[in-house]
Amino acid sequence: MTSFPYVAPFVILLAVIGLQPWIPLPPLALQVLAVGILAAVIRLIAWPVVDFHVKNWTGSLLLGAGVFALWIAPDALFPGYRGHWLFSNAILGAVSPGLPEAVRGDALVLLLRGLRAALIVPIIEELFWRAWLMRWLMSPDFAAVPLGKYSPSAFWIVAILFASEHGPYWEVGLATGILYNWWMIRTRSLGDLILTHGVTNLCLSVYVVAAGKWEYWA
């Protein structure tokens, strides 16, 4: 089986995120464009390999909510924590608001940004990190490796790379990567990981809007 439908959507996601600041469009148009492109990518490229079957609804929902709590806990318990040089530096970057102040009251912009986080990103990221990379690190013939098969090196490489993706939030990203990897090993189900990741991102999106913590949408 080719790696393309697992890897290409993730590469396109990174490109969309990276190019958004350079595209001269209003915020609403940018959100429409991003959601449209990524939804089309999933439908046209990734759809044949996506499996939404969930084996453990209760566990996946609870873990998703628990990871959300883990994600916000350090900053909630220790204000200013994220400003330490371990998290904000020339390599990792610094925490910054994810939406311009002028559009934070635009319900449609917020809805589209939340939909992207809760519905689109979990599919693309779980296809790449745990359905493909965890298996590919065990064998280039990754399709012959069962979902959720455990390998210490693959487990920790994926967790560390997943952490690095999250910049100033690397330590909660690492904890999240460990928990998601463990859940894949436990459930052997892509659908469970998509659900768990989606619940985490949905809770985080609601928290961002309700509490005004825009930095979590960077």
Q: What is the pLDDT of residues 62-81, one digit of tens each?
A: 999 999 999 999 999 999 88
At residue 100 the predicted structure's pLDDT band, cuts being 50, 70 and 90, is confident
Provide the pLDDT for residue 98. Answer: 82
Q: What is the pLDDT of residue 57?
A: 98
Tens of pLDDT along 23-43?
Answer: 999 999 999 999 999 999 999
Model confidence, pTM: 0.96
pLDDT(125) > 90: yes
Q: What is the DSSP letter of 51?
A: -
Q: How far is CA 123 from the centre of its chain?
A: 9
| CA 100 remoteness from chain centre | 21
Which residues neighbour 131 within 8 Å (Cβ) at sequence distance 6 or greater? 6, 49, 147, 190, 193
Task: Phi first, then psi: give them for residue 93, nearest 5 degrees.
Answer: 85, -165
- The full DSSP string for 108-167 is HHHHHHHHIIIIIHHHHHHIIIIIIIHHHTT-SSGGGSPTT---HHHHHHHHHHHHHTTG
Confidence (pLDDT) at 12? 98
Q: What pLDDT was estimated at residue 97?
A: 86
Rounded-to-5 percentages of helix, strand, coil across the chain: 75, 0, 25
Count CB-CB contacts under 10 A for residue 83.
13
The Cα 163–Cα 185 span in angstroms is 18
Q: In Å, how far from its chain's centre is CA 23?
A: 23
Looking at every residue in the chain, the average pLDDT score rounds to 96
Instruction: Please give the helix or strand (H or E) that residue 36 lies within, else none.
Output: helix 27-41
Residue type at 200? Answer: T
| Distance (Å, whole) CA 168 – CA 92 | 5
